[in-house]
Structures are given as structure tokens and as C-alpha cells.
């Protein structure tokens, strides 16, 4: 199978977040970025399926220059080619604007399967893959926890997560779009050999013009959604914070749980 995997680079969840000057998003200076968690699982699933079926993975990412690191990592892990949608015009798009651009890039090639993560850890629209499937006119499934290619290679058996610890098993015909959920597999680590090989693998850069897209149809200009501001939760709301050294804090916590909350 030829498989396209879409990955996004997002701020590291461990990072200390600071508000940007205009209050509309984070201050990205010195902010560490990583591959979005569920996208890492999508990439692993793509690589494993490509190995099993004798195919290859082409990895796509939309974002600024820093995204090169994510693509290089994907190549080191085993993707055979990287496509970088790199254009100021693509910036700050909602799920629909981003899917429009990804569709234009993906449909220049031919694939049996497109994988994305199920939700980005930054804006979290959980929609880009589904909208992309709409553009392609392919069936899709969100929150995929298992993929099996059926005999004959015409259809997939897919495990989909439902609420409260239940899964449903569905069959969908190929080609299809699957939005992979974290936990589906155990992502591999890059080997030294993989990292060396990555350097010689093809990497393509695409602008909106390369894709025949009007700049007004992508990015912020092509989006209905606009983020006006972002804010941290109100401080002071919620927990009574217990101060002191670990020993002092532990002692007074136990006291409070015994005498105030009466749960110990």
C-alpha cells in the first residue's frame, strides 16, 4: 500500500507556556516543538502497514520552517519521502483551511490510505482528517485503535474507540482515511542508520501557488474560525494550595484530609 501520513508539529506538552505579545497565541520563541502525540502513532501505524503490505509512506506536514525537524524525524523512522507545505499563506488555518491545502498536496500523488492523528494537542479541532476525507470522497473513521487489511486488500477492518471502554469494529473499503488514536501501537525509535539514510531521502517544499491554491482560500484568510485571544485559567479558582517543604505540605495535607475533609 502507498500510504500518506499527515503529521503536525505542536508545542511540547512539558514546555512552559507563555502568552504571546498580541494575546492571540503562545509566544513561540524558544518554545520546544514535537510531533503531535497521536500523529506519532499514525506514523508508526503507516510504517507498519507499509512494511506488512510491501508499500511505502509519504509524510506530509503543513507549517513553518521548524517543521523540517518533524519531517526529518519521520524520514529517519522510515518514511520514504517528505512533503512540506511551507508558505506564510498556510499559517493559522482552521481545520477546513488546513484540510484544503493538505488535499491539494496529497492528490498530486496516488495513495491507497491516508492516516492522520485523531486530534492535535495544540488547537485540538479533531477534524482535519475527516474534512480531508470529504475532499477525497473516501470513507473515514475517527479514533482508530486497530487496523487490519482484509484478504484481497480491498477493505480494512478497523477498531474504533467509543466512550466508556467500548470499541466498535467496522469494515470500510479502500481507499480510506483513518484518524489514529494514541495508544494503538508502540512507536519505534529512530536508529542511527535510519538517521543517516534520512539525509538522502527526497524532501519537497510546496507553496500555495505550487498547489494552484489561491492564498485567500487557505490559512487564516481561508478560515471561518478566528482565535481572538487565549488565556490561562483564572488563578485562585479551585484548589486550596498547601505550601511548604514536601514534608510540611504532606503533613498538613494529611491533617486537612482527616479533620477538614474527613476522608482519611
Ligand X SMILES: Cc1cc2nc3c(=O)[nH]c(=O)nc-3n(C[C@H](O)[C@H](O)[C@H](O)COP(=O)(O)OP(=O)(O)OC[C@H]3O[C@@H](n4cnc5c(N)ncnc54)[C@H](O)[C@@H]3O)c2cc1C
Q: Does 205 bind ligand X (CB under 6 A)?
A: no
Q: Does 13 bind ligand X (CB under 6 A)?
A: yes
Reading the block at residue 244, the C-alpha cell is 511548604
Least CB distance to ligand X at residue 162 (A): 10
State how far the Cα of 260 lies from the Cα of 246, in Å rounded to an integer.
20
Can you tell me which residue has the cell 488565556? 231
Contact 57, 47 (CB under 8 A): yes
Site residues for other proteins, window 126-155 (CB under 8 A)? 126-127, 130-131, 133-135, 139-143, 145
The helix/strand/coil state of 164 is coil
Least CB distance to other proteins at residue 207 (A): 24
204 binds, among other proteins, ligand X, none (CB under 5 to 8 A by kind): none
Q: Does 206 bind other proteins (CB under 8 A)?
A: no
The helix/strand/coil state of 153 is coil
Burial code (b: 16+ CB inside 10 Å, e: under 16) for 168-182 equals eeeebebbbbbbbbb
258 binds, among ligand X, other proteins, none (CB under 5 to 8 A by kind): other proteins
Least CB distance to other proteins at residue 122 (A): 6
State how far the Cα of 79 lies from the Cα of 57, in Å rounded to an integer.
5
Site residues for ligand X, window 108-147 (CB under 6 A)? 118-119, 143
Least CB distance to ligand X at residue 76 (A): 24
State how far the Cα of 41 lies from the Cα of 200, in Å rounded to an integer.
24
196 binds, among other proteins, ligand X, none (CB under 5 to 8 A by kind): none
Residues in contact with ligand X by CB under 6 A are 13, 118-119, 143
Amino acid at each position: 500500500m502507498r500510504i500518506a501520513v499527515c503529521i503536525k508539529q505542536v508545542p511540547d506538552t512539558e514546555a512552559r507556556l507563555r502568552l504571546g505579545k498580541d494575546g492571540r497565541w503562545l509566544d513561540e520563541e524558544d518554545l520546544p516543538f514535537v510531533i503531535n502525540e497521536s500523529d506519532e502513532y499514525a506514523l508508526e501505524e503507516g510504517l507498519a502497514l507499509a512494511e506488512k503490505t510491501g508499500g511505502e509512506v509519504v509524510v506530509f506536514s503543513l507549517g513553518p520552517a521548524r517543521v523540517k525537524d518533524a519531517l526529518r524525524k519521520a524520514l529517519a523512522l522510515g518514511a520514504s519521502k517528505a512533503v512540506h507545505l511551507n508558505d506564510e499563506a498556510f499559517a493559522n488555518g482552521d481545520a477546513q483551511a488546513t484540510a484544503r491545502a493538505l488535499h491539494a498536496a496529497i492528490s498530486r500523488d496516488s495513495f491507497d490510505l491516508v492516516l492522520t492523528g485523531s486530534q492535535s494537542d495544540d488547537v485540538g479541532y479533531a477534524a482535519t482528517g475527516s474534512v480531508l476525507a470529504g475532499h477525497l470522497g473516501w470513507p473515514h473513521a475517527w479514533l482508530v485503535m486497530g487496523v487490519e487489511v482484509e484478504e484481497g486488500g480491498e477493505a480494512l477492518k478497523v477498531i474504533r474507540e467509543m466512550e466508556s471502554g467500548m470499541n466498535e469494529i467496522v469494515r470500510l473499503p479502500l481507499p480510506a482515511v483513518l484518524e489514529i488514536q494514541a495508544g494503538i501501537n508502540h512507536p519505534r525509535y529512530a536508529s542511527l542508520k535510519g538517521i543517516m539514510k534520512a539525509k538522502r531521502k527526497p524532501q519537497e517544499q510546496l507553496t500555495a501557488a505550487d498547489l494552484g491554491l489561491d492564498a485567500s482560500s487557505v490559512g487564516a484568510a481561508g478560515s471561518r474560525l478566528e482565535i481572538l485571544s487565549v488565556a490561562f485559567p483564572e488563578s485562585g479558582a479551585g484548589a486550596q494550595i498547601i505550601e511548604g517543604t514536601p514534608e510540611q505540605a504532606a503533613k498538613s495535607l494529611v491533617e486537612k484530609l482527616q479533620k477538614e475533609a474527613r476522608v482519611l
